[in-house]
Amino acid sequence: MPSACVHRRFLLAVGFAGWSVSVAVHAQVLAPLVPAEGPASSSWRFVGFPKGKADIPATRFELAEVQAERALKVSTQSSYGSLVHDQAPIAAGRLQWRWRLDQALTGSKVAPDILTKAGDDAALKVCVMFEHPLQRVPFVERSLLRIARRISGEDLPAATLCYVWDSVYPAGLQSANPYTKRVRFITLQGKGAPLGQWQNESRDVAADFAQLFADESPAGSSAPQARAVLIGADSDNTGSQSVGWVKALDWVR
């Protein structure tokens, strides 16, 4: 059975750690992620390491201005954290946002490397969690997920897709999180991407899910519904620091 440390990292990799606080103020500058057929929701919550489980600072999320633009500033300093927007399950459509990275992960503890457990940090990421059928998950992964759900008391998603800003690998890298295949990612901005410049993103989430989770998607099946969106950044493994920004995050119908 995996160690307690691996279980903790598994929980964090899928985006929950059992500790959350309301941060509705952040929704004032982020698009509310409102499906056309549903009511508005401004429910954003912070998720970090469980209290008493690890002495790791929280990633800082704050409203600020950069070059006269109001946005969500995301700062790490050997820290971990995500903002999660829960929503009623909806069809995964096109997700768009703007983001910029002003300071890539820099530190001396461990070199950043999102393909390894030791270097698994991200200066900036936007993720979507899905209502993925548990029966499509391989037996061992399914068993680990059930254990993680029991430990956390959370209904952890069986599939999470992350869009990552990375400074080590080139844009277009696709892989699974080194702690769990329940989280898979694409680097949209990679090595050599300019710092301090806004980049516009627009992704067909259903198509990306079909590609990254092809081994768990029967031919002709549609992507599962999206149940949450998160903005995250962490630098706890590498002992690094980073600064990024996100704004105008919304589903496009």
Give the per-residue pLDDT at 31: 54
Largest CA distance in the chain: 51
Give the per-residue pLDDT at 73: 93
Q: Which CATH architecture has domain 4-252?
A: Sandwich (2.60)
pLDDT(49) > 70: yes
Q: How many whole angstroms separate alpha carbon 82 and alpha carbon 47?
A: 5
Give the per-residue pLDDT at 33: 56
pLDDT(110) > 70: yes
Task: Write down the pTM of the prediction.
Answer: 0.87
HSE-CB at 84 with a 13 A cutoff on CA atoms is 24
Give the per-residue pLDDT at 18: 47
**For residue 237, what are its two tokens?**
């493994």
pLDDT(75) > 80: yes
- The conformational region for residue 11 under phi > 0 = left, psi -120 to 50 = alpha, else beta, is alpha
pLDDT(108) > 90: no
Give the per-residue pLDDT at 32: 53
Task: Identify the residue with better confidence: 49 or 182.
Answer: 182
Task: Identify the residue with better confidence: 87 or 102.
Answer: 102
> Taking the domains of the chain in order of start, what are their residue ranges?
4-252
Task: State the helix-helix crossing angle for 4-13 and 139-152, rounded to 10 degrees.
Answer: 90
**For residue 124, what are its two tokens?**
């900036």
pLDDT(12) > 80: no
When pLDDT is cut at 50, 70 and 90, the band that residue 14 belongs to is low
- The conformational region for residue 222 under phi > 0 = left, psi -120 to 50 = alpha, else beta, is beta
